[in-house]
Each structure stands twice: as structure tokens, then as C-alpha cells.
Amino acid sequence: MDNYLLKIITCPICNGKLTYNYEELICNIDFLAYPIKNGIPILIENNARKISINDNN
């Protein structure tokens, strides 16, 4: 994942910072993991999976 993109991209729900973790972008505020397909982040709430606090460790 491009570091510049990680600096400017935010969660579409809360506008919080996203972190990169194993082909997903993680929102630690909403506990959602957004998939990355073919290098493109899919920032659609319906495509995100819910995660628990322990999932992003």
C-alpha cells in the first residue's frame, strides 16, 4: 500500500485514520476492515467486515 495514500485516505463513516493490515484497511474507531482488491481500496461500508478489538493485532 502506498504510504502517501495511507496518509490521505480516511474511513468513509467516521473520517478516522485507517491502518494497513494484510490486504485490508482497518478503522480502529468503527472496528471495520475494508478490503483491498487488485491494489484498490474498497471503501464501501457494505463491503467492510466487522472486526473485534483483537482482530487487528
pLDDT of residue 42: 95
Note whether residue 57 is domain-resident: no
Answer with the residue of higher pLDDT: 2 or 34: 34
User: With 80 as the cut, is the pLDDT of residue 57 above it?
Assistant: no
pLDDT, tens digit, 9 for 90 and up, residues 46-56: 999 999 877 65
Residue 10 in any domain: the answer is: yes
What is the per-residue pLDDT across 13-47, written as a single tens digit (0 to 9) for each?
999 999 998 889 999 999 999 999 998 899 999 99
Residue 36 confidence (pLDDT):
94
Give residue 6's region: left, alpha or beta (phi > 0; psi -120 to 50). alpha
DSSP state of 17: B
Residue 55 within a domain: no
Tell me, what CATH number does 15's domain have?
2.20.25.10
